[in-house]
Structure 1
Amino acid sequence: MASLLRRVMKALGMLPTTRGPLVHAIPVFSFGPRRGSREVLIAYRENGWLRAVVDTVADAVATPQWRAYKRVSFEGVKHYDKRWTSGVRDVRRKALEEATQDGELVELPEHEVLRVLESPHPEYPGRELRKLLQVHLDLVGETFMWLRLGQDGRPVGWEPVPPHCVHMTPQPGRPHFALSYGQFSGYVPASSMLWPKHLDPENPLGRGVGRGTSLGDELDTMEAIGKATKSTFERGGLPHVIVGLDSKDEDFERDEAATNLEKRFKQEFGGPENAGKVWFTPGGVTMAEVAINYRELQADELGKSLRSYVRHVFNVPPELLGDTTSSNRSTSEAAKYHLAEYAVAPRLEFLRDWFQHRLVPLIDADVILDYEDPRPQEFERVFRAMTTPIMESFTFNEVREFAGYEALPELEGKRPAPLPGQGGGGNNAASASANATPEPPRDRTGEEGRV
């Protein structure tokens, strides 16, 4: 009935008449680059490789514990050393250790600043929120901490706000943030929001810029390869055969005939049991075979190159992601140290600077913030320290600390005896041997690391 109605309408000139052969075009899908913050966060949620790389760094950044030091006043005067807040972590830690031993600083195991960092939210653990901050910083380049204030006006925690939910940042004459997050839509005073960000070289006063926003083309290409592979296995990719119908009859309904022919083909040849079945069709059918060489696309090699590029952007060694193609025991042990040295430590320094600059003054301006060293002890270093004979130039406790063990009170100040031949000859050697500090007895209880 529908076909008869269309014929009548065409005969009356109410519908345009199409002439010529039926043409099937192969669609080309366009994947635009992701440049927005929301898109790159969605890619983190959907792209397994990107999430594995980013989580490797974010988990390591969120794990180390934070430490708080406070100045001690002598006769009402509090000494301050600029090395205590130095950006060079080795200089800062040495100065903090010396000041703590001299009594100028005292380490506070419990303080409001540490409680805010360890438990900033009533529903989520602090480690997960610190990890979320790092994910925002790595992907988007900025993160927003909506401070939760106590009765005295000091921060007691924060609410993480996704960067794409903040629509306006403070401007001259407008000291507030405009955001729409959850059920809230309005303005937040600038004093109630912390905005750590990586400065954009093109516009330092604007929004932050992260490593993930520079991977738009690479992430889109990886997504396109994944979808193309899926389509290849589901539908065979590009069609191997193009079927066309044509007739010299002007009343021939090409669209309807093609649809009916497609339905008949799927009905008769669907499923593996119909493979190789002979198909009889009416005249006017033409077939064109399309041969595609998938090896020329090099999708596998391109995918590996893109994954390696994404991993390099975030400073993650391949061994930490399960790639042991060209690895051995030494490179596997060094991978953890390289991650802490070149990926984790710089990010912790960034967070420490921002917390010291913006968060600490809101709670206690006298507090000096620091974090535990994330670098692990290398196996080769510990092994050599425990198996190499100790020279008299070092004490037993110095060697133990170098190997990563705690100093023992009974070994304080004690050194090993000189090695044979180091004390000179004759009476000098005998005198040195007699005056040498006797080697402490070895512990037979099985404690690992006791000298």
Structure 2
Amino acid sequence: MASLFHRALKALGLLPAPQGSLVHALPVVSFSPRRGSREVLRAYKENGWLRTVVDTVAEAVATPRWRVYKRARPGVLSVLDQRLKSANPRLRTKALKDATASGELVELPDHELLRLLEAPHPRYPGRAFRKLSQVHVDLVGEAFLWLRRDDTGRVVGWEVVPPHRVMMTPTPENPVFFLSHNTFIGAVPEADVLWFKHLDPEAPEDRGAGAGMALGDELDTVEAISRATKSTFERGGIPAAIVGLDAKSSGTDLEETVLDLEKKYQEAFAGPGSAGKVWFAPAGVSLAQVQVNFRELQTEELKKGLLDFIRQTYNVPPELVGDLTSSNRSTAESAEYTLADFAVLPRLEFWRSWLQHCLVPLVDRDAILDYEDPRPQEFERVFRLMTTQPTEAFTYNEVRELAGYEPDPLLEGKRPPPLPGAGGGNNPQSASANATPNPPRDRSGEEGRL
């Protein structure tokens, strides 16, 4: 504990102390683009498999509809339920549903945030920008939105800047981004750029860490296999055979002899009509045959393993990229749900948390941003719900909601009757269900009758 004298000197301002908040008192340096970020974005354009896998996720992330909620009485001061902004989708969805039903919150389908998300640029739709931003995050690990403001300083849109075009990030001493985007080269204030990223566990203040950057060796190996295969079929890759001559003469004469021998061979065996001919060569000529055996190299198995690893990195089921090798009806029907649950939902939560933290305060501080659940209803579950008799433990509308249908006002509060035997005879419905419709007549006194 500091002494009384030390605390008195600090209170009088006679001791040096960091200025500003604690986070700005820490030394922060500017960071340039990661090496290889431009190459992995270029691989997205040139590598068909990488583009297919990344697009499968990015298209699904850019599709769901966003929602905006606000308090019904914004002027009334009350404690906001923190579950409404929880990172747990189930907890947040239930809290939003309860608050909307009680009248505390109201959904605004025409809020300014939604208009910005749907049309952030005069030439490009919002879905295209959302997909592009997701591609940047999946490949490089970060995305930059350069905000556009009107004369009053209000945010009216943005542009997506490629990560490798952001040359410098801000520092406390120099709070600007240095951009080299299109024809613009210069500094942009930190407040006009939104920086979304996956934090690097080794250096959180550094640039983002993306899955595409971690797949550099796999992508290079797949490209090398493809190029080697192409070269083999175009030019043979390596010579099919090596012809040698006995070096008894001088160097100059030997080179002329080799050229003459090659010329004679080309003249005699040019074209497919020369197949099967026998060539008579002078003495001292040796032949060494060279062959490329892709089976021994296991090229096909190696390439398939690398492609599967790239696909698994992004949690994409094989059925969604056309691989039906080990597929069956069950896996094919659940592939879309698996993608939404393990790939799309975490990424939507990533965007919701960052947008709520960075963009919402710039547009409407009291707004609560949320998205529609991207997980589709599984066919088997809906089929069972539609064909199985419900029990009295649930209302008809609860069963309809579980199957993915809207509640029916005519069925509000109604429950199905108990199944036969389910009541144990303790209620009229069960008693009537278990009662014998035609009881047997009394046969007393007929014992001796045949």
Q: Same fold (TM over 0.5)?
A: yes
Q: Distance in 2 between matches of 1:175 and 1:430?
A: 74
2:321 corresponds to 1:321 = yes
Q: Distance in 2 between matches of 1:281 and 1:410?
A: 98
1:319-352 superposed Cα distances (whole Å, 9 cap, x missing partner): 1111111211111111111111111000000000
8 Å CA contact 1:243–1:286 kept in 2: the answer is yes
What residue identity is the alignment partner of 1:121? H
SS of residue matched to 1:73: coil
SS of residue matched to 1:243: strand
Q: Distance in 1 between matches of 2:114 and 2:330?
A: 37
2:382 corresponds to 1:346 = no
The equivalences for 1:100-115 within 5 A come to 100-115=100-115
Length-normalised TM-score, structure 1: 0.83
- Which residue number corresponds to residue 396 of structure 2? 396
- Which residue number corresponds to residue 381 of structure 2? 381
Q: 1:151 to 1:242 in 2, by over 3 A?
A: same
Q: 1:431 to 1:315 in 2, by over 3 A?
A: closer
8 Å CA contact 1:269–1:275 kept in 2: the answer is yes
Q: Distance in 2 between matches of 1:198 and 1:99?
A: 32
- Which residue number corresponds to residue 239 of structure 1? 239
- Which residue number corresponds to residue 178 of structure 2? 178
SS of residue matched to 2:374: coil
What residue identity is the alignment partner of 1:241? A
Q: CA deviation at 1:100?
A: 1.0
- Which residue number corresponds to residue 17 of structure 1? none
The equivalences for 1:89-238 within 5 A come to 89-238=89-238
1:350-409 superposed Cα distances (whole Å, 9 cap, x missing partner): 000110000111111111000000000011110111111111121111111111111111
- Which residue number corresponds to residue 24 of structure 1? none
Q: CA deviation at 1:150?
A: 2.1
- Which residue number corresponds to residue 62 of structure 1? 62
What residue identity is the alignment partner of 2:428? A
1:163-217 superposed Cα distances (whole Å, 9 cap, x missing partner): 1111111123111111212111111111111110011111111110100101111
- Which residue number corresponds to residue 429 of structure 1? 428
Q: Distance in 2 between matches of 1:274 and 1:335?
A: 55
- Which residue number corresponds to residue 334 of structure 1? 334
Q: Distance in 2 between matches of 1:75 and 1:417?
A: 47
1:18-59 superposed Cα distances (whole Å, 9 cap, x missing partner): xxxxxxxxxxxxxxxx95101111111111111111111111
The runs of 5 or more residues in structure 1 that have no matched partner are 1-33, 435-451
Q: CA deviation at 1:273?
A: 2.4
Give the alignment's Cα RMSD to 1 decimal: 2.2
1:120-171 superposed Cα distances (whole Å, 9 cap, x missing partner): 1111111111011111000100111111112321221111111111111112
SS of residue matched to 2:177: strand
Q: CA deviation at 1:420?
A: 2.0
SS of residue matched to 2:348: helix
Q: CA deviation at 1:410?
A: 1.1
Q: 1:256 to 1:152 in 2, by over 3 A?
A: farther
Q: Distance in 2 between matches of 1:37 and 1:267?
A: 51
Count matched residues.
400
Length-normalised TM-score, structure 2: 0.84
Between stretches 236-245 and 338-347, larger displacement belongs to 236-245
User: How much identity, in percent, do the aligned residues show?
Assistant: 64
Q: Distance in 1 between matches of 2:157 and 2:88?
A: 28
What residue identity is the alignment partner of 1:324? L
Between stretches 262-271 and 216-225, larger displacement belongs to 262-271
- Which residue number corresponds to residue 442 of structure 2? none
Q: Distance in 1 between matches of 2:254 and 2:169?
A: 59
What residue identity is the alignment partner of 1:73? R
Between stretches 335-344 and 273-282, larger displacement belongs to 273-282
